Amino acid sequence: MKNKATIILAISLLTMIGCQKPQELDSNKGSSDSSKVVLENGKGEKENSSNIEENNRMKEFSITVEGKQISLMDWDDEADLEDILGKAEQEDLYRLGAESDTFAGSYMKEIQFSGLAIKLFSPKDNGTRFYILSMETDDSKYQTIRGIKVGDSLEDLSAKYPELIPIPDGREDANNRGYRFQDDAYNYITFEVEDGVIVYISIYHEFA
Protein backbone atom coordinates (compact mmCIF):
# COMPACT_ATOMS: atom_id res chain seq x y z
CA MET A 1 0.00 0.00 0.00
CA LYS A 2 2.79 2.37 0.87
CA ASN A 3 4.51 1.78 -2.51
CA LYS A 4 1.23 2.25 -4.33
CA ALA A 5 0.55 5.55 -2.56
CA THR A 6 4.03 6.77 -3.45
CA ILE A 7 3.53 5.94 -7.14
CA ILE A 8 0.14 7.72 -7.19
CA LEU A 9 1.66 10.85 -5.59
CA ALA A 10 4.51 10.94 -8.12
CA ILE A 11 2.06 10.63 -11.03
CA SER A 12 -0.08 13.42 -9.59
CA LEU A 13 2.92 15.76 -9.34
CA LEU A 14 4.02 15.05 -12.90
CA THR A 15 0.48 15.67 -14.14
CA MET A 16 0.31 19.04 -12.32
CA ILE A 17 3.63 20.17 -13.81
CA GLY A 18 2.69 18.96 -17.24
CA CYS A 19 -0.62 20.82 -17.09
CA GLN A 20 0.91 24.14 -16.20
CA LYS A 21 0.14 26.64 -18.93
CA PRO A 22 2.99 27.71 -21.21
CA GLN A 23 2.18 31.37 -20.51
CA GLU A 24 2.52 30.71 -16.78
CA LEU A 25 5.97 29.27 -17.35
CA ASP A 26 6.87 32.20 -19.57
CA SER A 27 5.50 34.58 -16.95
CA ASN A 28 7.77 33.09 -14.31
CA LYS A 29 10.74 33.32 -16.69
CA GLY A 30 9.87 36.90 -17.50
CA SER A 31 9.73 37.73 -13.82
CA SER A 32 13.25 36.38 -13.41
CA ASP A 33 14.46 38.31 -16.46
CA SER A 34 12.75 41.44 -15.19
CA SER A 35 14.55 41.12 -11.89
CA LYS A 36 17.81 40.80 -13.76
CA VAL A 37 17.06 43.91 -15.82
CA VAL A 38 16.14 45.86 -12.69
CA LEU A 39 19.37 44.80 -11.03
CA GLU A 40 21.41 45.69 -14.10
CA ASN A 41 19.64 49.04 -14.49
CA GLY A 42 20.13 49.70 -10.80
CA LYS A 43 23.84 49.13 -11.18
CA GLY A 44 23.96 51.40 -14.20
CA GLU A 45 22.01 54.11 -12.43
CA LYS A 46 24.35 53.86 -9.46
CA GLU A 47 27.41 54.20 -11.69
CA ASN A 48 25.86 57.14 -13.56
CA SER A 49 24.95 58.80 -10.27
CA SER A 50 28.51 58.32 -9.04
CA ASN A 51 29.91 59.88 -12.22
CA ILE A 52 27.57 62.85 -11.91
CA GLU A 53 28.56 63.39 -8.29
CA GLU A 54 32.25 63.22 -9.24
CA ASN A 55 31.79 65.74 -12.07
CA ASN A 56 29.87 68.10 -9.81
CA ARG A 57 32.56 67.82 -7.15
CA MET A 58 35.36 68.55 -9.60
CA LYS A 59 33.53 71.64 -10.88
CA GLU A 60 34.46 73.24 -7.56
CA PHE A 61 38.09 72.92 -8.58
CA SER A 62 37.82 74.71 -11.90
CA ILE A 63 38.66 77.98 -13.54
CA THR A 64 36.40 79.76 -15.99
CA VAL A 65 37.43 82.12 -18.74
CA GLU A 66 35.08 83.70 -21.27
CA GLY A 67 32.32 81.32 -20.24
CA LYS A 68 34.45 78.19 -20.71
CA GLN A 69 35.51 75.88 -17.90
CA ILE A 70 38.67 73.89 -17.18
CA SER A 71 38.73 71.50 -14.21
CA LEU A 72 41.32 69.55 -12.29
CA MET A 73 41.76 66.01 -13.64
CA ASP A 74 40.52 67.00 -17.12
CA TRP A 75 42.40 65.12 -19.84
CA ASP A 76 44.30 67.44 -22.17
CA ASP A 77 42.92 65.86 -25.35
CA GLU A 78 39.36 66.36 -24.09
CA ALA A 79 39.68 69.83 -22.56
CA ASP A 80 41.22 71.34 -25.75
CA LEU A 81 43.30 73.84 -23.79
CA GLU A 82 44.58 75.75 -26.80
CA ASP A 83 41.05 76.38 -28.03
CA ILE A 84 40.08 77.82 -24.64
CA LEU A 85 43.31 79.55 -23.63
CA GLY A 86 44.99 80.36 -26.91
CA LYS A 87 48.49 79.41 -27.98
CA ALA A 88 50.85 78.40 -25.18
CA GLU A 89 53.75 80.71 -24.45
CA GLN A 90 55.95 77.86 -23.25
CA GLU A 91 55.70 74.10 -22.82
CA ASP A 92 58.06 71.72 -21.05
CA LEU A 93 57.87 67.92 -20.84
CA TYR A 94 59.97 65.78 -18.51
CA ARG A 95 60.01 62.45 -16.66
CA LEU A 96 60.09 62.13 -12.89
CA GLY A 97 63.26 60.65 -11.43
CA ALA A 98 63.96 58.14 -8.69
CA GLU A 99 63.42 60.82 -6.02
CA SER A 100 59.71 60.70 -6.92
CA ASP A 101 59.45 57.24 -5.36
CA THR A 102 56.41 55.36 -6.72
CA PHE A 103 55.89 58.03 -9.39
CA ALA A 104 59.38 57.60 -10.86
CA GLY A 105 59.16 57.29 -14.63
CA SER A 106 55.86 59.16 -14.83
CA TYR A 107 55.58 62.21 -17.07
CA MET A 108 54.98 65.85 -16.20
CA LYS A 109 54.05 68.60 -18.59
CA GLU A 110 54.18 72.29 -17.67
CA ILE A 111 52.39 74.74 -19.94
CA GLN A 112 52.49 78.52 -19.57
CA PHE A 113 49.60 80.49 -21.05
CA SER A 114 49.00 84.21 -20.69
CA GLY A 115 48.48 84.71 -16.96
CA LEU A 116 47.97 80.99 -16.26
CA ALA A 117 50.38 78.13 -15.52
CA ILE A 118 49.12 74.55 -15.82
CA LYS A 119 50.84 71.33 -14.73
CA LEU A 120 49.70 67.99 -16.16
CA PHE A 121 50.53 64.41 -15.23
CA SER A 122 50.70 61.15 -17.16
CA PRO A 123 51.44 57.69 -15.69
CA LYS A 124 54.69 56.01 -16.69
CA ASP A 125 52.87 53.43 -18.82
CA ASN A 126 51.16 56.20 -20.80
CA GLY A 127 53.10 59.35 -21.67
CA THR A 128 50.73 60.45 -24.42
CA ARG A 129 47.62 61.59 -22.51
CA PHE A 130 47.93 63.99 -19.59
CA TYR A 131 45.44 65.16 -16.98
CA ILE A 132 45.48 68.52 -15.19
CA LEU A 133 47.21 68.41 -11.81
CA SER A 134 47.36 72.13 -11.01
CA MET A 135 46.43 75.60 -12.28
CA GLU A 136 47.92 78.85 -10.97
CA THR A 137 47.06 82.41 -11.91
CA ASP A 138 47.70 86.03 -10.98
CA ASP A 139 45.44 87.33 -13.76
CA SER A 140 41.93 88.64 -13.05
CA LYS A 141 40.48 87.22 -16.28
CA TYR A 142 40.43 83.76 -14.72
CA GLN A 143 37.74 83.03 -12.12
CA THR A 144 36.89 80.13 -9.85
CA ILE A 145 33.56 78.41 -10.41
CA ARG A 146 32.12 80.58 -7.63
CA GLY A 147 33.19 83.75 -9.38
CA ILE A 148 36.25 84.72 -7.32
CA LYS A 149 39.25 86.21 -9.12
CA VAL A 150 42.52 88.02 -8.50
CA GLY A 151 41.72 91.56 -7.37
CA ASP A 152 38.66 90.59 -5.31
CA SER A 153 38.55 91.52 -1.63
CA LEU A 154 38.95 89.19 1.33
CA GLU A 155 35.37 90.12 2.23
CA ASP A 156 34.11 88.88 -1.16
CA LEU A 157 36.21 85.73 -0.82
CA SER A 158 34.82 84.93 2.63
CA ALA A 159 31.26 85.46 1.39
CA LYS A 160 31.69 83.09 -1.57
CA TYR A 161 33.73 80.51 0.37
CA PRO A 162 32.39 80.32 3.94
CA GLU A 163 34.26 76.97 4.30
CA LEU A 164 37.57 78.79 3.88
CA ILE A 165 40.31 78.14 6.46
CA PRO A 166 43.56 80.06 7.04
CA ILE A 167 46.72 78.27 5.96
CA PRO A 168 48.71 77.54 9.15
CA ASP A 169 52.05 78.97 8.02
CA GLY A 170 52.75 81.31 10.95
CA ARG A 171 51.17 84.43 9.50
CA GLU A 172 48.53 85.98 11.77
CA ASP A 173 47.41 89.13 9.93
CA ALA A 174 44.06 88.25 8.33
CA ASN A 175 44.65 90.72 5.49
CA ASN A 176 48.06 89.32 4.62
CA ARG A 177 48.03 85.54 4.57
CA GLY A 178 46.95 82.48 2.61
CA TYR A 179 43.53 80.81 2.73
CA ARG A 180 42.50 77.36 1.59
CA PHE A 181 39.37 75.60 0.38
CA GLN A 182 39.48 71.80 0.13
CA ASP A 183 37.51 68.58 -0.14
CA ASP A 184 38.22 65.13 1.32
CA ALA A 185 39.87 63.85 -1.88
CA TYR A 186 43.07 65.95 -1.73
CA ASN A 187 41.80 68.72 -4.01
CA TYR A 188 42.57 72.29 -2.99
CA ILE A 189 42.17 75.95 -3.89
CA THR A 190 44.49 78.40 -2.17
CA PHE A 191 44.11 82.16 -2.22
CA GLU A 192 47.03 84.44 -1.41
CA VAL A 193 45.83 87.70 0.11
CA GLU A 194 47.84 90.91 0.45
CA ASP A 195 46.41 94.07 2.04
CA GLY A 196 42.97 92.44 2.01
CA VAL A 197 43.04 91.71 -1.74
CA ILE A 198 43.56 88.41 -3.60
CA VAL A 199 46.80 88.46 -5.56
CA TYR A 200 47.23 84.79 -6.47
CA ILE A 201 45.02 81.70 -6.89
CA SER A 202 46.22 78.10 -7.04
CA ILE A 203 44.02 75.08 -7.76
CA TYR A 204 45.69 71.72 -7.36
CA HIS A 205 45.49 68.03 -6.48
CA GLU A 206 47.83 66.25 -4.09
CA PHE A 207 48.55 62.54 -4.41
CA ALA A 208 47.65 60.68 -1.23
User: Closest Cα to residue 100, out of 124, 133, 117?
Assistant: 124
pTM: 0.74
Band of residue 47 on the pLDDT scale cut at 50, 70, 90: low
More confident residue, 48 or 193: 193
More confident residue, 54 or 133: 133
Q: What's the rounded mean pLDDT across residues 155-164?
A: 97
Q: What's the rounded mean pLDDT across residues 106-123?
A: 97
Q: What's the rounded mean pLDDT across residues 148-166?
A: 98
Q: Which of 8-12, 49-53, 198-202 has the highest mean pLDDT?
A: 198-202
Band of residue 183 on the pLDDT scale cut at 50, 70, 90: very high
Q: Which of 28-32, 52-56, 96-100 has the highest mean pLDDT?
A: 96-100
Cα 45 from chain centre: 17
Q: Output the pLDDT for position 38.
A: 44
Q: How far apart (Å, rounded) are the C-alpha atoms in residues 120 and 157?
A: 27
